Amino acid sequence: MFMVWPFLAIILHQKFNLNEFEIGAFIAFPIFVGVTFGFFLGYLSDRVGRRKIIIIGLIITIASLLTMASADSLDFLMLGMLGQSIARGMVENPGRALMTDMLQDRDAKDLALQVRYFALNVGAASGPLVGINIGLTGQQTTFALVALVYTVYVLAALIVFKIQPPLKHTKMNTNQSIGQVVGVLRADHAFMLFVFAALLADIAYGQIDAGLLQYLRVAGFDQITKFYATLIFINGTTIIIFQFPILKLMANIPPLHRAGIGVFTFIIAFISFALAPTNSNIGLMFAMFLLSLGEVILFPTLSIIVDRMAPDHLKGSYFGAAALSAFGFSLAPLLGGFLLQQFGGMTLWIFMACLSTLVGGLFFLAERLRATKSAAQAGIRP
């Protein structure tokens, strides 16, 4: 996927002649739709079982990628992007819930989510540079190759699910309606505040995709595709190298505090992007390194926080609700494109630094709410 998806903004500009804001809107809409369906799909995985939803999602992904590979119009390209975005919510959120269903030990659950994130970043680091070296990066037809890989993915999932039965019943043990589940979530104020903070974090971090790529183009960097692939490689390899040492270093830090450290690193990274000279590749590479360190601290920790906040019988629903934070990724290219077009790169990066500061404050409030709730349940005066 990383051989082509990060370069979608270039395809939209070169083949379909869209400007920065139009590209942002085009990328944002499918993400918005996918996130909207995400909560319902998480709830559905609680009701009918995670594995069925995952398999159906993988099949829809294959069909959507083939549509994107052959699309000659924006309408068909949008159709494929919509299908892929909805299917992503059928695979990722139930997949995370399934991993924690299969394990009993708390440390094992946390490590499983960390390993999953590590594996994704091996692909993120290698995809762009491998694509460039074999001449496929940035070409629309590469989506057909991704569809072939997903075909292997769905076959592997079918085999694994047949060999490995569930260790425990993962469906709801009550017939709660979706309205009742929404009521449970709304009453969990710490969780809802956490989801809103994660949404803002996704807006800021989401600039690593279309926002950064368009910034390089507007700023006049040479060999944009190759340099952007280098930045993505730095992002992925930083995570691969530092994820587990940082995990060991921060093992005794509470998850929400750990998330706050990741957000603080984001702030420094965005300031570095703003101050990096437009004629200096080194400055942007250093800023990407800092942002990647913040990512390796923050994003695996977010999944751990959701797992700890969620009741066992509502894991899918909680992961689906937490996925609403991905609205931030749908807003990111829209907001980033607008700021870049109207005010320039300096304003874009400083705004993201300020947004990250707000995220840190909201994480602190969520921790206070959670501590107060726990104390009340234990009958202790907070």
Average pLDDT over residues 76-93: 89
Specify the higher pLDDT residue, 139 or 295.
Answer: 295
* Banded pLDDT at 166 (limits 50, 70, 90): low
Q: What is the mean pLDDT of the chain?
A: 81
Q: Report the half-sphere exposure of 235 (CA within 13 A, side-chain side).
A: 25
Contact present, 202 and 332 (Cβ < 8 Å): yes
Domains of the chain in start order, with CATH, are: 5-377 (1.20.1250.20)
Reply yes or no on whether the pLDDT at 287 is more than 80.
yes
Poorest-confidence range of 51-55, 62-66, 152-156, 184-188?
184-188
Reply yes or no on whether the pLDDT at 379 is more than 50.
yes
Distance CA(106)–CA(85), nearest Å, equals: 31
**pLDDT tens for each residue of 139-148:** 778 888 889 9
Q: Cβ neighbours of residue 30 under 8 Å, at least 6 residues apart? A: 78, 81, 82, 84, 85, 330
Give the highest mean pLDDT range of 132-146, 180-194, 271-285: 271-285
Reply yes or no on whether the pLDDT at 220 is more than 80.
no
**Angle, vertex CA 152, rays to CA 115 and CA 3, nearest 5:** 70
Handedness of CA 316, 318, 319, 320 (dihedral sign): positive
Q: Report the half-sphere exposure of 160 (CA within 13 A, side-chain side).
A: 13
Query: What is the predicted pLDDT for the residue at 173?
Result: 47
Percentage, residues of the chain above pLDDT 90: 19
Distance CA(263)–CA(352), nearest Å, equals: 11
* Banded pLDDT at 321 (limits 50, 70, 90): confident
Reply yes or no on whether the pLDDT at 371 is more than 90.
no
Query: What is the predicted pLDDT for the residue at 350?
Result: 93
Reply yes or no on whether the pLDDT at 175 is more than 90.
no
Poorest-confidence range of 9-18, 162-171, 351-360?
162-171
Residue type, 258: R
Specify the higher pLDDT residue, 338 or 35.
Answer: 338
Per-residue CA distances from 196 to 189, 191, 270, 284, 365 (Å):
11, 9, 20, 29, 12
Nearest to 358 by CA among 201, 205, 211: 201
Handedness of CA 368, 371, 373, 379 (dihedral sign): negative
Question: Which parts of the chain fold into alpha helices (H)?
Answer: 8-14, 20-48, 50-70, 74-101, 106-133, 142-163, 178-187, 189-205, 210-219, 224-249, 255-275, 281-309, 315-322, 327-343, 345-377
Distance CA(225)–CA(10), nearest Å, equals: 9
Query: What is the predicted pLDDT for the residue at 62?
Result: 95
* Banded pLDDT at 137 (limits 50, 70, 90): low
